[in-house]
Amino acid sequence: MTLFDAAVWRELWVWTPFLLTGFGLNILIALLAMLVGTSLGWGLALLRLSERKAWVKLSLLLTEFTRNVPTIVFQFYLAFMLPSEFVLPGTTLLLGFPGWLNASLALAIAVIGFTSDNLTNALKSWRMGDHSAALLFLPNWTSYMLIIVIASSTASIIGVSELVSRCNTVINATGNTRLMLPVYLYACLCFFLFCYPLTMLMQRYRSYLAARFTHKTS
């Protein structure tokens, strides 16, 4: 079985809804990680610009921590330490704590450090009136989100049924190990088709901001 066999495409077509649903989970994990990480990183950035040295030192310490903790280790930590389900306090309502949420929280750690560093510089530029330089935070943020989308595939190691995990499921379900290369290439194509257009868009936006800055200074 090769990539040019019709049987390969038939198999991939049959499993496409299953695989794309898994890829949707990758995107959900990344978006939640960016939301949580950006919110907390924003707070650290504001503390770094504080006039109180104690707040500045604390924010720098926390930023260094988030930059130097491997997210994959934190995924394992959360997977083992957080319960898979819990009772809502004051009620008998049982809530689940899914693995994809663990993965999002773990990846958010890296986003906190990224946001703290980049948003601090952006806020400084904005206060100095250099709005073009400050707005560079937006394409940088988007580019980092794409990195987190790709990194979300590591969630498979804690049992999250995202795209890479579902590729393994397809191979096991079909019992055809020769499908391994095509299905993983299919997964790579999913990531590429999602990330590449956004990468090109952000490059154009950076060029626009650079041209805008040059026009203002000329």
Task: Flag whether 86 is in a domain.
Answer: yes
Task: Flag whether 153 is in a domain.
Answer: yes
The per-residue pLDDT for 135 is 92
The per-residue pLDDT for 214 is 67
109: burial class by Cβ within 10 Å (0-12, 13-18, 19+)?
A: buried
CATH number at residue 103: 1.10.3720.10
Residue ranges of the chain with per-residue pLDDT less than 50: none
The per-residue pLDDT for 161 is 94
> Count of domains in the chain?
1
Task: Flag whether 46 is in a domain.
Answer: yes
Task: Flag whether 175 is in a domain.
Answer: yes
Residue pair 142/194 in contact by the 8 Å Cβ criterion: no
Task: Flag whether 109 is in a domain.
Answer: yes
pTM of the model: 0.89
The per-residue pLDDT for 17 is 95
| 21-45 residues labelled b (16+ CB within 10 A) or e (exposed) | ebbebbbbbbebbbebbbebbbbbb
Range of the domain at 13: 6-217
Task: Flag whether 127 is in a domain.
Answer: yes
Task: Flag whether 1 is in a domain.
Answer: no
Strand partners, 86: 95
The per-residue pLDDT for 218 is 55
Q: What angle do CA 135, 139, 142 make, to 5 degrees?
A: 130
Task: Flag whether 67 is in a domain.
Answer: yes
Positive or negative: CA dihedral 123, 128, 131, 136: negative
Residues in the chain: 218
The per-residue pLDDT for 93 is 72
